[in-house]
Structures are given as C-alpha cells and as structure tokens.
C-alpha cells in the first residue's frame, strides 16, 4: 500500500489560475465570437529580444558540433552566466555577492516552492496578505500550514495584511515567527518598499533570528530611486535573507525558463540543539541532488541579457510593459476607481466598485467587457474586494481594454 502525503488533500481543489482558465474557456465556448482580452495571468507577449535569439541560435549550433557539444553541466550554473550575474546585478550596485552564492534554476516559482525542502517543518511561517499563492500552497504541501479555516486563512500561518489602511506596507509580526516571505515589487499589489521600509524588516530579522525569503522577480521594473533593487542593499541582509530573481518577466523567459537564487554563505539555519548550519551548503546539496541544471543554450541566452545590445533590448521590453501599466492605471483612476501599482511593477491592483466581491467584478468584466483579470481574493483573504490586472498584453490590446473599461456602468 502506497500512503500519500495527506497535506495535499488539504489544498483547494485547483490552482487559482486554473479556475480562471476554466471560467474563460466556458465563456468562450458559450460566446465563440467574443474578443477576449486577457489581463489576468502574468504571461508576457513580447518575443525574446534579438540579442537573446542570436545567442540561442549560436548555442544550438554549438550543440550540433562534436567539438563544442555540452552534456551535463554544473547544476549551480555555468561560470559564464554566474559570473555575469555577479558583475551586473550585484557588483554594479557595490554589493559583495560571490559566484558560489548564486544558483541558476528554471524559475523563481520553482525555487520559492522548493526552498522549504531545507527548512524544518516546525518553523512558523509569516506571509504578506495578499500573496503569491505558491508561498502558501507549498507550505501546505509540506505540512507547515495547519488547516484551512472558514475565514480563508490557514491555522498555522501568520498573516501580515497589506491593505489600503496601512498603505499596503506590512506590519512586523506581533507573534514569534521563524520565516517571512516578502515579494517586492509586490505580486499582486504592484506596490514597493523603500530602502528605509525594507531596513525595518532586515533589522527585525537580525534581532529576532528570522529568515527572510525575498522574491525580487520584478526588480527590473523599478523606476523610483528610493526603492532597492536587491535586499542586499540593506546592511546585514546577507545574514538573514535568501533572494530569488528571474529572467521570465524581464526578458521574456516564461517559455524558456531561467532564474537564479542567492543563498549567502553568511546565512545560517539551526538544528534543534542550536547548532548553526550553512543554508548555502544545504541548498547546494538539495540543488545538486534534485536538479540537473538549466540547459546550456538557455544559459547562453540568459547571458546575452547582459550584453550591451541585450541590456538595451530588455530595457525596451520593460518600458513597453510599463507604458501599458501607465495606460491602465490612468484609465482606471479617471474612472474614479482606487488603484495602486503600475509604477514600479507590471501589476495594477484595483479596488472593486460598489462593494462587489472579487469574483463578481471578475465575472462582470468577463461577461460585459470581455476582459480577464485575476480576482484579488485568490491571493488571500485581504485580497477580497480587489482585482489584479497585468500590463503584459500588447499595446493594442491594452488600449482596446482601456476603451472598454471606460464603459463600466457599475
């Protein structure tokens, strides 16, 4: 008899975005002529930049030649990519991150979900609310979350509400916690923390021996000067934080898959007897055991993001999406709706009108305006009464969506 991990049975029957896809499919089947504009799931629409495509082609040609063919590579990433990341993403900011603290992977979703493998089940986890669902669901799967309550919260998870009342800035936990997930620029709200606000968290973690799991997947969208591009810009962060970064939304790698995680060697975990253990060594052991590395051709493509041509082309793509975000944000504001995000982020977080629930507003936009958003409640209890829209559509579709949004009659 094969016993199951019964924690999986505690999860809701399907993933948020699967529910959205089902609803859209049902509507499309009933209304085949409807021109649906999808501003829900955060997939990109711009193709890979030319410099990246050129690097891909060159790497494929290398794989076709016996003299340059590559088989298994280092699980942590090839030196050419790791060293390029160190130089451009950290040394350029004056930060001392070494190559053996970088782990190349197939996505931040994977890494933020898998990081729990090296962390004990007795840890008390805190999350901002609303939050990227993967942080919660993977802790449910592991057995850290307890049971789902009637209020939509898990009994063993500490929730840190991010609402209009606190300007979407989470307050420090009042109870003891061991691990805190932070995502900035934030998914789903599109909001940010300034350096001073993030310093509050790093200082708290240092004082209370708390591990911060910092998801910086949207770092490249930052436009304001007082918003940190890395948590390691804050003094002491290397002793308390793991940082996750991605090429998906910045360079269009959602379909080619490449990201990286930084686990500083100064960062320690503890045995129950109080012995310090290097989390870098634990993650290296996990990474090399369960992962065979990102394909060579993909890593060459990621390296090309940092070439002079690649940097310009990636920046152009980001500016394209930020233009979309500005268009959506301004249009909704003109309609009298309350919105945040869309300045340092591709996400716009909009308050539903007239007390509608998140799903009611979702259904209205789909049925009446043929626009797909993401119900805020799907990101946690504090997301009720909000909807997330993304700027990852085409400019043409964004403008068309805005023209439709002007017809909101509720």
Residue 261 scores a pLDDT above 90: yes
Picking from 11, 31, 20, 29, the residue whose alpha carbon sits closest to that of residue 362 is 20
Sheet with strand 374-375: strands edge to edge: 339-341, 347-351, 386-390, 374-375
Q: Are residues 159 and 226 in the same domain?
A: yes
Could you list the residues known to form a binding site for pyridoxal 5'-phosphate, using ranges.
72, 108-109, 132, 187, 218, 246-248, 257, 292
Mean pLDDT computed over every residue of the chain: 96
Residue 406 scores a pLDDT above 90: no
Q: Are residues 249 and 397 in the same domain?
A: no
Q: Of the residues 280, 306, 332, which one is the last residue of a structural domain?
A: 306
The tokens for 398 are 């964004």
How far apart CA 127 and CA 130 sit, in angstroms, is 8
Band of the pLDDT at 18, cuts 50, 70, 90?
A: confident
Given this model, what pLDDT does residue 12 score? 85
Q: Are residues 39 and 87 in the same domain?
A: no
Given this model, what pLDDT does residue 112 score? 98
Averaged pLDDT, 322-340 = 96
Given this model, what pLDDT does residue 30 score? 96
Averaged pLDDT, 282-303 = 98
- Alpha-carbon distance values, 159 to 74, 173, 213, 377 (Å): 38, 8, 15, 14
Picking from 131, 137, 121, 119, the residue whose alpha carbon sits closest to that of residue 8 is 137
Q: Of the residues 250, 278, 306, which one is the last residue of a structural domain?
A: 306
Given this model, what pLDDT does residue 169 score? 98
pTM of the model: 0.97
Say if residues 216 and 245 touch (Cβ distance below 8 Å).
yes
Residue 115 structural domain: 53-306
Q: Of the residues 285, 306, 327, which one is the last residue of a structural domain?
A: 306
Residue 30 lies in a domain: yes
Could you list the residues known to form a binding site, using ranges.
15, 42, 72, 108-109, 132, 187, 218, 246-248, 257, 292, 388
Residue 409 scores a pLDDT above 80: no
Q: Which residue has the tokens 């934080």?
A: 241
Q: Are residues 385 and 276 in the same domain?
A: no
Q: Are residues 256 and 314 in the same domain?
A: no
Domain of 26, CATH number, reads 3.90.1150.10
The tokens for 303 are 């390296």
Q: Are residues 339 and 300 in the same domain?
A: no
Averaged pLDDT, 45-52 = 97
How far apart CA 149 and CA 145 sit, in angstroms, is 11
Residue 407 scores a pLDDT above 90: no
Residue 391 scores a pLDDT above 90: yes
Residue 34 scores a pLDDT above 90: yes
Q: Are residues 292 and 360 in the same domain?
A: no
Burial class (CB in 10 A: 0-12, 13-18, 19+), 298: buried
Residue 202 scores a pLDDT above 80: yes
Going along 118-177, which residue ranges are E strands? 125-129, 157-161
Could you list the residues known to form a binding site for substrate, using ranges.
15, 42, 109, 132, 187, 292, 388
How far apart CA 242 and CA 53 sit, in angstroms, is 31
Residue 271 scores a pLDDT above 90: yes
The tokens for 235 are 């003094």
DSSP per-residue codes, 170-191: PPPPSS--SEEEEESS-TTT--
Q: Are residues 205 and 229 in the same domain?
A: yes
């Amino acid at each position: 008899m094969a016993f199951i991990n019964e924690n999986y049975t505690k999860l809701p029957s399907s993933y948020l975005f699967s529910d959205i896809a089902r609803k859209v499919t049902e509507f499309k089947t009933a209304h085949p002529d409807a021109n649906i504009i999808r501003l829900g799931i955060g997939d990109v629409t711009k193709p890979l930049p030319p410099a990246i495509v050129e690097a891909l082609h060159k790497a494929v040609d290398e794989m076709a030649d016996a003299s340059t063919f590559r088989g298994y590579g280092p699980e942590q990433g090839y030196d050419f990519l790791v060293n390029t990341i160190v130089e451009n993403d950290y040394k350029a900011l004056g930060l001392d991150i070494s190559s053996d603290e970088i782990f190349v992977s197939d996505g931040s979703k994977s890494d933020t979900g898998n990081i729990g493998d090296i962390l004990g089940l007795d840890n008390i986890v805190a999350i901002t609310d609303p939050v990227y669902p993967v942080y919660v669901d993977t802790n449910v799967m592991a057995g850290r979350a307890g049971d789902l309550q009637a209020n939509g919260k898990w009994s063993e998870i500490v929730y840190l509400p991010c609402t209009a009342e606190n300007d979407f800035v989470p307050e420090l936990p009042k109870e003891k916690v061991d691990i805190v997930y932070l995502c900035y620029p934030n998914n789903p709200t599109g909001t940010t923390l300034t350096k001073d606000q993030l310093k509050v968290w790093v200082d708290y973690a240092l004082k209370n021996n708390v591990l911060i799991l910092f998801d910086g997947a949207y770092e490249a969208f930052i436009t304001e000067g007082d918003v940190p591009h890395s948590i390691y810009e804050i003094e002491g962060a290397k002793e308390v934080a793991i940082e996750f970064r991605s090429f998906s939304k910045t360079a269009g790698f959602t379909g080619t898959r490449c990201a990286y995680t930084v686990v500083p060697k100064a960062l320690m975990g503890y045995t129950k007897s109080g012995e310090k253990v290097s989390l870098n060594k634990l993650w290296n052991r996990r990474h090399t055991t369960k992962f065979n590395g990102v394909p060579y051709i993909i890593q060459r493509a990621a390296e090309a993001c940092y070439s002079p041509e690649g940097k310009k082309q990636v920046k152009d793509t980001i500016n394209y999406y930020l233009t979309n975000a500005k268009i959506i944000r301004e249009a909704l504001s003109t309609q009298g709706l309350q919105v945040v995000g869309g300045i340092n982020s591709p996400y716009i977080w909009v308050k539903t009108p007239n007390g509608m629930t998140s799903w009611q507003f979702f259904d209205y936009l789909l049925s009446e305006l043929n626009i797909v958003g993401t119900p805020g409640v799907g990101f946690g209890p504090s997301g009720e009464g909000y909807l997330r829209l993304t700027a990852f559509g085409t400019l043409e579709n964004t403008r068309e969506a805005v023209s439709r949004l002007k017809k909101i009659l509720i």
